Amino acid sequence: MKRTSAIAMAMSGDAPALAASDGSANTPLEIQNVQIDGGVAESVIAEKKIGERIKHLRLKKSMGLVELGRHTGLSASFLSQLETGRVVPTLRNLARIAMVFSKDLSYFFEAEPQTLFRVHRRKERVRMPQTGVDDPTYFFESLGYLVPDRQLDPYFAEFLPAKPGRVPRAHQHEGCEFLYLLSGMLDVKHGETTHRIEAGDALYFDANTKHSYVCPGDVPAQAVIVSLQHPLSHQLVNSMRPVSSTNGRPRGGEPVAMHGKIARSG
């Protein structure tokens, strides 16, 4: 039988059960409708990628061929031939394997996933001022706006020197925040405690607690801020306690309410 014929039969679901040499038990198996691109499937099978993907899943679970055979009802020798591309599986046998690894059948026929990699050129970034005020206290640039469904939000922020009479505002949000000060000085108020940091210092804190920033120097302070907007676990929140600062003193600060200013793409 030609390879293309076997592929066509497998794709249509009309492929006969493999001979006894595959070690499978001929028990009924419900196979759901799977939308698969025929051209992609031809390429995947022709290039032996199904076997590679099966082997990848198996090794990721530290599972041997014999153990996989026990779960699927297929012989170890047949699975070995399948992983090396020497045989073409039926949808029935592929479904058995997919269920072991909690995968859909379509997983084996999808085009190779693209590794996430994005470059954000400096000239392409947009400098945004603090919103809702006539006299902004900071400007920021998103460093991750081109990444869809991103897990964290990185920003470049520039804090302008404080002015007398400016009313400080604090903000809070779910998750954690990381700040690395590139230049200048910054007073960071977290809860009731204010910490002064200088260039080269870094902070990592629970963003559920009200926090604010103010630049006490005569020159702007520049920082990289990364916000991870996922709720902290209850255990982690309980384990976090305010740390007293030897050089801390009560001060107000203008919040960097960058979160949510730029809509996520994707």
pLDDT tens-digit map of 137-180: 889 999 988 887 788 899 999 999 998 877 667 888 889 999 99
Answer whether 75's CB lies under 8 Å from 98's CB: no
The pTM of this model reads: 0.51
Answer whether 18's CB lies under 8 Å from 93's CB: yes
Distance, CA of 217 to CA of 194 (rounded, Å): 15
Asked whether residue 59 carries a pLDDT value surpassing 70, the answer given is yes
Instruction: Give buried/exposed letters for 240-249 (b at 16+ CB in 10 A, else e).
Output: eeeeeeeebe
**DSSP-assigned letters across all residues of 105-154:** GGGGTSPPPPPP-----GGG---EEPSS-SS-SEEEEES-TTSTT-S-EE
Asked whether residue 4 carries a pLDDT value surpassing 70, the answer given is no
Distance, CA of 197 to CA of 205 (rounded, Å): 14
Q: What percent of the chain has pLDDT over 90?
A: 36
Asked whether residue 80 carries a pLDDT value surpassing 90, the answer given is yes
Q: Compute how many other C-beta atoms are within 10 angstroms of the C-beta atom of residue 219.
A: 11
Candidates 128, 109, 89; CA nearest to 7 is: 89
Average pLDDT, whole number, for the chain? 74
Asked whether residue 233 carries a pLDDT value surpassing 70, the answer given is no
pLDDT of residue 138: 85
105-132 average pLDDT score: 80
Range with the poorest average pLDDT among 1-15, 36-50, 64-78: 1-15
Residue 45: band (very low, low, confident or very high) from pLDDT cuts 50, 70, 90: low
Residue 67: band (very low, low, confident or very high) from pLDDT cuts 50, 70, 90: very high
pLDDT of residue 44: 53
pLDDT of residue 115: 74
